[in-house]
């Protein structure tokens, strides 16, 4: 089982690939994609699609995990996030992936035991789980890792 966790964003998209083999969890890849703001909206959506499709195929992903969106202060950003989520649904369908969605509080709860944990607290737990993890420049990457682990743990509970 291989889970690709995605924290979508129009500037930076966090991603993480984890695998479960013989009751051991492996971190295969994680980081973030930079979607250049100098590019048009259509170009950024295409970059998002192409890069994630490449990861799905090259890592033989079986499951996709994403965070449910919440309406923040900017409705326009929320709308644009919907474009990226649509791409994730399309990629999931095209590649026969099992798609799971998790609320931000659910992700934080599963990692830290507290649904209101900060991004720093979540990252600290991830560094304990993966001691060789190199701190990324953006929390988008650690958020994606938390999302992918939530997807992995949920799948394990169903079996």
Q: Give the active site residues.
A: 7, 67, 140
Q: Are strands 2-7 and 12-21 parallel, antiparallel or unpaired?
A: antiparallel
CA atoms within 13 A of residue 23's CA, in its CB half-sphere: 0
Task: Assign 138 to helix, strand or coil.
Answer: coil
Q: 75-94 and 41-58 helices cross at what angle (nearest 10)?
A: 40
Which two structure tokens, joined as six digits, stand for 62?
Answer: 């079986």
CA-CA distances (angstroms) from residue 50 to 47, 56, 72, 130? 5, 10, 27, 28
Distance (Å, rounded) from C-alpha 4 to C-alpha 24? 17
CA 47, 50, 56: angle at the middle one, nearest 5?
135
Backbone angles phi, psi at 69, to 5 degrees: -80, 155
């Amino acid at each position: 089982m291989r889970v690709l966790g995605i924290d979508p964003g129009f500037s930076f998209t966090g991603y993480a690939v984890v695998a479960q083999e013989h009751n051991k969890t492996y971190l295969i890849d994680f980081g973030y994609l930079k979607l250049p703001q100098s590019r048009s909206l259509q170009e950024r959506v295409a970059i998002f699609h192409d890069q994630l499709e490449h990861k799905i195929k090259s890592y033989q992903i079986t499951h996709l995990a994403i965070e449910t969106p919440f309406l923040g202060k900017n409705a326009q950003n929320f709308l644009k996030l919907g474009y990226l989520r649509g791409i994730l649904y399309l990629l999931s369908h095209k590649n026969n992936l099992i798609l799971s969605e998790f609320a931000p509080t659910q992700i934080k709860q599963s990692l830290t035991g507290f649904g209101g944990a900060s991004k720093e607290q979540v990252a600290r737990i991830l560094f304990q789980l993966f001691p060789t993890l190199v701190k990324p420049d953006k929390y988008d990457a650690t958020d994606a890792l938390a999302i992918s682990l939530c997807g992995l743990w949920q799948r394990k509970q169903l079996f």
